[in-house]
Amino acid sequence: MPKYLIERELPGAGKLSPADLKAVSQKSCSVLRDLGPQIQWVQSYVTDDKIYCVYIAPNAEMVKQHAEQGGFPANRISEIKAGIDPTTAEA
């Protein structure tokens, strides 16, 4: 199943408190439960003004649907074509 990188523009994201991040996570998980097991949240990274999320989903439309139902921005949804890390340089 495809993986997607979602860029969410959220000014001040890096200043969100642990309680704020917990609330956002709980809302996301609630929407995911309603959408069913075909969409999965893998991980998110918080920067100063953006949150980058990795999701597994059958298509970008389902990722967009999650964002709309959760009230989250999804400014860019990009399908991940490959992953590399330092071990890619080996062999």
Any idea where the domains of the chain sit in the sequence? 3-82
Nearest-angstrom CA–CA distance, 15 and 9: 14
Domain spanning 3-82: CATH 3.30.70.3090: yes
DSSP 86: G
pLDDT, one tens digit per residue, over 32-59 is 999 999 999 999 999 999 999 999 999 9
Radius of gyration of the chain from its Cα atoms, rounded to whole angstroms: 14
pLDDT at 64: 97
Q: List strand residue ranges (DSSP E) for the chain, in order.
A: 3-9, 40-46, 50-56, 76-80
How confident is the model at residue 86, as a pLDDT?
A: 95
Determine the straight-line distance between the first and last CA of the chain, rounded to whole angstroms. Answer: 27
CA–CA separation, 3 vs 16, rounded Å?
26
Phi, psi of 72 (to 5 degrees): -100, 145
